[in-house]
Chain A
Amino acid sequence: MTEPRRRHRVLMVSDFFYPNFGGVENHIYYLSQCLMQRGHKVVVATHAYGRRSGVRYMTNGLKVYYIPWLPFYLQTSFPTLFGTFPIIRTIILRERITLVHGHQAFSTLCHEAILHARTMGYKTVFTDHSLYGFADIGSIHMNKVLEFTLADVQQAICVSHTSKENTHLRSRLPPEKIFVIPNAVDTAMFQPDPSSRSQDEIVIVIISRLVYRKGADLLVEVIPEVCSLFPQVRFIIGGDGPKRVRLEEMREKYHLQDRVEMLGAVAHANVRSVLVRGHIFLNSSLTEAFCIAILEAACCGLLTVSTRVGGVPEACSST
């Protein structure tokens, strides 16, 4: 290359970041690390989590601002429209930011930061991670907020084509402005290990939060059927949630204690060690923008079986 590539100074803004844990948090962290490897500068801004407030540094000098702003509902910060303007402006000027990147439609901090960044004339990008409906009052309200904020963003990123359609309908953003960039998985962390698999039986692994949206009720129905049809099948269920009781109830009722193993919550670092024990990965979500768990499982060499919802058919096309 004759001309050096342009270096960006990116501000990632979202209410959701470590120590909170989930897909968005992971995505922001890995995206920041990759951008830094490519020579860009990245700063993350989120709200304070408990006593974690102020500036922290993470791996490779990733700077994180924990803005002392109280969360009020599901970790989203209290919406004030202009309340965060001074601090966002200070961060942008101090870090000499060139691009503001907001994450997750549910995050009020992200909306406000995009608004302030546009006010100051900076370029903005928005990433949508989830699918939402149109029918209930909460969704209608959020879609209106999204339409307002995204009216002026330069580009938006969605994780799947289904998510793109959804975002286009919700925010009225022209489809040319929406880019589909699927989530990536760290292949170095998820290597197959055929030696740890059982040879004489088939192990089906399920790792998800045990909630209604992840189809825990479906599992309650499926597991006894499968167990009665195929005597050589065993299940390993990782994850915790309100529906765990129902699964345990099912296990008691059908006397499947020796065939259904329930691990409880599994830390992300230990996910691989659970995955490599199985032959098949089962995802039973009722809605999913993009299932990173399927990718991780496939990466570990498992066959993946999933419900046909949201962006899942795109991620694992049957061709």
Chain B
Amino acid sequence: MEVKACEELEARRRNSGSRGRWRKVLYGGVQEGYEDNYTGTRYDEYTFLQEMVENANVRKRSLLIVMRDSVAVSQHACVVGLVGTVWTHALNGDLGAWTLLQLDGVLLVLGFLTLILTHENLRPASLGRHAFDFTMFVVGLYILAPIFQTLTRTFSSDSIWASTICLLLMHLVFHDYSYTTVEPTSTDLDEAVTNLASPTTPRSRADHELLLQRRLKERSTPVTFSANVSLNASIIASVLIASRLPHSLLVFAVMLFSLEFFLLFPLVTHHMRRRSLHFHLAFSCVLIGITLYLIYNLNYLVFTFFVIVLFFITVVSPYELIRIEKFKDEITGPWDEAKLSFSPAASHWETSSTTGAVSYCATSSEGVRLDGE
């Protein structure tokens, strides 16, 4: 049978004088007169790279919005600068333990007040729980302060400073800036829908909405791996600095100050940003002003450096991002992995995107077999 089929094909190949139209198929029978490396030369049969789409998902950014969002980065750089200034003053002996403790208390109360004012649905019970947790935390810190103080006595100050600066840089690199800037967008919503597409999903629309909202709420406090690395780096840096201090009360005060800024402050700014953009911008400007003033009093060189960094973050980087955006060349085509973009209801399948289309292509088994032989 095989021999017969081959002879038939051979005969067809010889008989056909004019070559047929080339088709983009693998087992569509014989493509007379076409080589295996045929790419298509005639206008009407040129299918090579026809389905390629360039820059399909690219969104144009606006310079102002990028600059506005970059304020969150500057704000966090200022937080690090501020904490660094307080550390330096404490190490120089300019700052007494009691003064710093009073400052800690004031900042803590201010922070909690801001949180109460800006948080959308803060229940008294959860506030009480937070307060209790925090009290336990402070007590623990007070008990551990003498241990922190003697922790690195055998190391030289230079190594401590070097590793602190490295850790702070690590903190800045890995910090989760999107926590303060980005609001849940439509893509997040899509993602939530995809995540929901599980067999445990209830099929009714109302239940689905409910679950979706719950999922989005969970997303509003995301904890990523890099965010954890960042937080831990900052805490280690605080411990290292605290271990250079002369007495344990000052250690306690400095640790409390650092933790307030590294651990609790992002929460406050997050809710501030969610409540009002203008409030967030105004607060950031005030914070940047305070930091610059404090650093100016400390050291001119550091001040200049800090101003350059801030300028780079808010002006140069956004401008550069917009400038190089026109070189973006994103290629998508049929070779891309299809994305599951369906909602649980099966009726929504036909509406999915071109590359992710879940459509059926069926073939008769006989047809394929004959061509395959």
Contacts and interface: CB of A to CB of B under 8 A. Distances in A.
Interface of A: 131-135, 155, 160-166, 168-169, 175-182, 184-185, 187, 192, 213, 215, 217-218, 220-222, 224-225, 246, 249-250, 253-254, 286-287, 289-290, 295, 297-319
B372 to A, nearest CB: 6
| Shortest beta-carbon contacts, A-B, top 6 | A316-B363, A298-B368, A131-B335, A182-B26, A179-B36, A166-B335
Contacts of A133: 335-337
20 contacts: A133-B335, A161-B24, A165-B334, A165-B335, A166-B333, A168-B49, A175-B37, A177-B37, A182-B26, A187-B372, A287-B335, A299-B369, A299-B372, A306-B361, A308-B361, A309-B337, A312-B361, A316-B368, A317-B361, A319-B28
Contacts of B125: none
Contacts, number: 158
B144 interface: no
Contacts of B372: 184-185, 187, 295, 298-299
B338 interface: yes
B27 interface: yes
A182 B35 CA distance: 13
B16 interface: no
Contact of A180 (B37, B334, B359): B37
Interface stretch (B166-174, B194-202, B303-311): B194-202
B26 A311 contact: yes
A133 B338 CA distance: 11
B301 interface: no
A290 B26 CA distance: 10
Given A166-B335, A179-B36, A180-B37, A305 B27 contact: no
Nearest to B2: A187
A246 B198 CA distance: 9
Given A134-B331, A299-B372, A307 B197 contact: no
A211 to B, nearest CB: 12
A100 B363 CA distance: 37
A309 B334 contact: yes
A192 B364 CA distance: 14
B365 interface: yes
B361 A313 contact: yes
Contact of B331 (A169, A215, A250): A169
A218 B199 contact: no
Contacts of A299: 365, 368-369, 372
B363 A180 contact: no
Interface in B186-204: 197-200
B337 A213 contact: yes
Contacts of A168: 49
Nearest to A319: B28
Contacts of A131: 335-336
B158 interface: no
Given A165-B49, A182-B27, A217-B340, A306 B360 contact: yes
Contacts of A187: 369, 372-373
State the main secondary structure of chain B at its contact with A.
loop
Contact of B333 (A165, A221, A308): A165
Interface of B: 23-28, 35-37, 39, 47-49, 51-52, 197-200, 330-331, 333-340, 342, 344, 346, 357-365, 368-369, 372-373
Contacts of A175: 37, 39, 48
Nearest to A280: B362
Contacts of B23: 317
Given A178-B37, A220-B199, A310 B334 contact: yes
Nearest to A223: B199
A274 B255 CA distance: 66
Greatest chain B CB density within 10 A among A165, A179, A224, A297 is at A165
B368 A295 contact: yes
Contacts of B363: 298, 303-304, 316-318
B25 A314 contact: yes
Contacts of B339: 286
A80 to B, nearest CB: 30
A310 B335 contact: yes
Nearest to B354: A308
Given A176-B39, A185-B372, A165 B338 contact: no
Nearest to B342: A221
A306 B357 CA distance: 11
A163 to B, nearest CB: 7
B37 A249 contact: no
A176 B200 contact: no
A308 B359 contact: yes
A246 B344 CA distance: 15
Given A160-B26, A221-B344, A318-B362, A253 B199 contact: yes
A224 to B, nearest CB: 7
B257 to A, nearest CB: 39
A101 B347 CA distance: 48
A168 B335 CA distance: 12
Contact of A165 (B27, B48, B362): B48
Contacts of A298: 363, 365, 368-369, 372
